[in-house]
A and B are shown apart, each in its own frame.
Chain A
Amino acid sequence: MITTKDLTKVYRSRGREITALDGVDLHVREGEVYGVLGRSGAGKSTLIRCVNLLERPTAGTVIVDGRELTALAGRGPRAGGELRRARTRIGMVFQHFNLLSSRTVQDNVELPLEILGLSGRERARKALDLLDLVGLADKARVHPAQLSGGQKQRVGIARALAGDPKVLLSDEATSALDPETTRSVLQLLRDLNRQLGLTILLITHEMDVVKAVCDSAALMRGGRITEAGTVPELLATPGSELARELFPVGGQASGDDRTVVDITFHGETATQPVISRLARTYTIDIAVLGAAMDTVAGRQVGRMRIELPGPFEENVVPIGYLREQGLGIEVVQAPGAPGAEGTDGRDAAPALTQGGGR
């Protein structure tokens, strides 16, 4: 639905060049909620502004719903008629809402409809429908100054939906809101995604936002995308930074001669009682050291750190069993174990060995 190819944006000011985007390839599928995560200054804001060409990329292409927007742009800084028409099919919500204080809530929602050239009666009907959809039908006649932050963002969302867009861009839409309001606004976005089949590209610096609503995610750093994929894919990728951040597990081995294993659940297996089966089949005691499980996009996913009695050599068979179940397995090399001798057990971070010495 949204594809960018080798998107590059370089700002020039007073002879200095700042590269905000450094060859970004983004692919957002139709009907999914895609989160771009990154610290401030990573280039995410520039990226989302390049998608509807509020910022002109220095190089690269942007394709939204099969149309190459970068080809419609024209040369000058002004947006031509074709680009403007394409923009009416792309909704956008902002961190600071950007509602007109001179207009009522209803008139704010009608604004994009005025641009589309609808008649007064059609505008009013559509605006009221949209306000009803976001749960603010009773606030149509008040001015935005009288609304709370969450309500303002709901108006912003209603306004963004006015042109029946297929794509919604969300620029840190929940960053100015408190945690509870954030949850309700995210829930609304999720509902709209399901009900209207709306493709949503959101940028955020909050991991929780990605966790709550995203089907796919990308991590941005220094103007580049360093990781991208669906949440289960990311979990299945050994060493994925996003997966570790999304599902952090901790916990130390309770003593020597123990094997610590990180298990990653992705896809179907999460619904099966794997751990208790393992314990029964091999009659071993299993201690759970830490776990982060969640339901992401309706599927149970997460990571768990368990401890098995005995050194690794004795546990090759149970670990093999876990691998057969389609789980991601990482054996955490305990400090003090062979190969890591001499380091003090407590403070040293456990080293990850992928696959655990096959």
Chain B
Amino acid sequence: MTWSAMQPLLYAACLDTLYMVGWSTVYAVLGGLPLGVLLVLTGEGGLLRNGPVNKVIGAVVNVGRSLPFFILMIALIPFSTLVVGTSIGPTAAVVPLAVSAIPFFARLVETAVREVDAGLVEAVQAMGGSTWTVVRKVLLPQSLPSLVAGLTTTVIALIGYSAMAGAVGGGGLGNLAKTYGYQRFETNLMIITVVLLIVLVSVVQLAGDLVVRRLARRTRTSDTPSARWRFLLPR
């Protein structure tokens, strides 16, 4: 297979992968951030202490986390059809990707937010701040470096999952590797796919680390989680 033949295929596959990862990241943040914050707020010693609510959210998150992505993807096919009207293609793949990324990110958010010094929360309460003020002005800004680090981990995990989604009809680099590398023995294209994934993951990790370091530098005292080099997450 010539380079000129491969190029359009690679280009389209890359776009599909970025599309899937991009949208599922958006949903992971929209869903995981509030859930993670709620887990802390409703938990022991939280501002909205509520045992039952905490247990329910915790249980939902745990169920989402315990299902291997491959099984989740298949189990969610009817749901995907219901939501986006189709069960194949990148758009359909976003549904299971988002569903699996939301609890994943929620746990990382919970850990990050829990580390915020309780004294700061007390200080804002003493100023007359509401719970919402505490979340907006203290919990989120103070845990921002950890949140960005958690998001980096989530995006990299999503790149791995998206390859799996691609293999069962989602499109993207995973689909390319399956149809050309596995079924047609196009070794060159397979190698290029692998290199592309490595580059993609490295860029995400480096960008994430850069942002974390930037944020951490101005605070200096806050501890930043060490970089986690997760390339692919086969599960």
In whole angstroms, how far apart are the Cα atoms of A291 and B44 in the complex?
54
Given contacts A54-B122, A77-B49, A78-B48, A101 and B222 within 8 Å (CB-CB): yes
- Of the 9-residue stretches B104-112, B131-139, B148-156, B186-194, which lies at the interface with chain A? B131-139
Whether a CB of chain B sits under 8 angstroms from the CB of A112 is yes
- Of the 9-residue stretches B89-97, B157-165, B213-221, which lies at the interface with chain A? B213-221
B144 touches A102 (CB 8 A): yes
A143 touches B218 (CB 8 A): yes
Whether a CB of chain B sits under 8 angstroms from the CB of A286 is no
B119 touches A115 (CB 8 A): no
In whole angstroms, how far apart are the Cα atoms of A163 and B128 in the complex?
10
In whole angstroms, how far apart are the Cα atoms of A90 and B125 in the complex?
11
In whole angstroms, how far apart are the Cα atoms of A5 and B187 in the complex?
83
A96 touches B119 (CB 8 A): yes
Whether a CB of chain A sits under 8 angstroms from the CB of B130 is yes
Q: Find chain A residues with CB under 8 A from B130 CB.
A: 79, 84
A146 closest partner in B (C-beta): B220
Whether a CB of chain A sits under 8 angstroms from the CB of B142 is yes
Whether a CB of chain B sits under 8 angstroms from the CB of A196 is no
Q: Find chain B residues with CB under 8 A from A163 CB.
A: 127-128
Whether a CB of chain B sits under 8 angstroms from the CB of A153 is no
Contact of A101 among B48, B122, B129, B142 (CB under 8 A): B142
In whole angstroms, how far apart are the Cα atoms of A112 and B128 in the complex?
8
Given contacts A78-B48, A92-B123, A87 and B128 within 8 Å (CB-CB): yes
Whether a CB of chain B sits under 8 angstroms from the CB of A145 is yes
Give the one of B123, B124, B138, B144 with max A CB within 10 A: B123
B220 closest partner in A (C-beta): A145
In whole angstroms, how far apart are the Cα atoms of A84 and B119 in the complex?
17
In whole angstroms, how far apart are the Cα atoms of A114 and B133 in the complex?
10
A88 touches B127 (CB 8 A): yes
B117 touches A98 (CB 8 A): yes
Measured CB to CB, the closest approach of chain B to A41, in angstroms, equals 19
B128 touches A84 (CB 8 A): yes
Measured CB to CB, the closest approach of chain A to B196, in angstroms, equals 36
B131 touches A78 (CB 8 A): yes
B126 touches A143 (CB 8 A): no
Whether a CB of chain A sits under 8 angstroms from the CB of B141 is yes
Whether a CB of chain B sits under 8 angstroms from the CB of A247 is no
Whether a CB of chain B sits under 8 angstroms from the CB of A67 is no
Number of A-B contacts (CB under 8 A): 77
A145 touches B221 (CB 8 A): yes
Whether a CB of chain B sits under 8 angstroms from the CB of A207 is no
Which of B15-62 touch A at CB < 8 Å? Answer: 47-49
In whole angstroms, how far apart are the Cα atoms of A94 and B117 in the complex?
13
The contact string, 1 if C-beta is below 8 Å from chain A, for chain B 52-77, is 00000000000000000000000000
A85 closest partner in B (C-beta): B128
Whether a CB of chain B sits under 8 angstroms from the CB of A103 is yes
A100 touches B128 (CB 8 A): no
Report the interface size class on chain B: 20 to 34
A100 touches B138 (CB 8 A): yes
A92 closest partner in B (C-beta): B126
Q: Find chain A residues with CB under 8 A from B128 CB.
A: 84-88, 112, 115-116, 163
Q: Find chain A residues with CB under 8 A from B129 CB.
A: 84, 115
In whole angstroms, how far apart are the Cα atoms of A103 and B221 in the complex?
12
Report the interface size class on chain A: 20 to 34
Q: Find chain A residues with CB under 8 A from B84 CB.
A: none
Q: Find chain A residues with CB under 8 A from B123 CB.
A: 92, 94, 98
A52 touches B142 (CB 8 A): no
Q: Find chain B residues with CB under 8 A from A87 CB.
A: 125-128
B118 closest partner in A (C-beta): A98
B119 touches A94 (CB 8 A): yes
B137 touches A114 (CB 8 A): yes
A90 touches B141 (CB 8 A): no
Whether a CB of chain B sits under 8 angstroms from the CB of A111 is yes
Measured CB to CB, the closest approach of chain A to B180, in angstroms, equals 48
In whole angstroms, how far apart are the Cα atoms of A88 and B128 in the complex?
5
Measured CB to CB, the closest approach of chain A to B38, in angstroms, equals 15
B126 closest partner in A (C-beta): A92
Measured CB to CB, the closest approach of chain B to A116, in angstroms, equals 8
Give the one of A92, A98, A159 with max B CB within 10 A: A98
In whole angstroms, how far apart are the Cα atoms of A163 and B218 in the complex?
27
B122 closest partner in A (C-beta): A54
Which of A141-181 touch B at CB < 8 Å? Answer: 143, 145-146, 159, 162-163, 169
Whether a CB of chain A sits under 8 angstroms from the CB of B9 is no
A98 touches B120 (CB 8 A): yes
Q: Find chain B residues with CB under 8 A from A92 CB.
A: 123, 126-127
Q: Find chain A residues with CB under 8 A from B47 CB.
A: 77-78
B123 closest partner in A (C-beta): A98
Measured CB to CB, the closest approach of chain B to A117, in angstroms, equals 11
Q: A90-B126, A94-B122 are in contact. List 5 more A-B contacts (CB 8 A).
A: A78-B47, A87-B128, A111-B137, A114-B137, A115-B128
B contacts, CB < 8 Å to A: 47-49, 117, 119-120, 122-131, 133, 137-138, 141-142, 144, 215, 218-222
Listed from nearest, the 9 A-B pairs whose CB atoms lie closest are A88-B128, A98-B123, A87-B128, A101-B219, A145-B220, A92-B126, A84-B128, A112-B127, A98-B119
**Can you show 14 pairs from A to B with CB atoms below 8 A apart?**
A54-B125, A54-B126, A78-B47, A78-B131, A84-B129, A88-B128, A98-B119, A98-B123, A100-B137, A100-B141, A102-B215, A111-B124, A111-B127, A115-B129
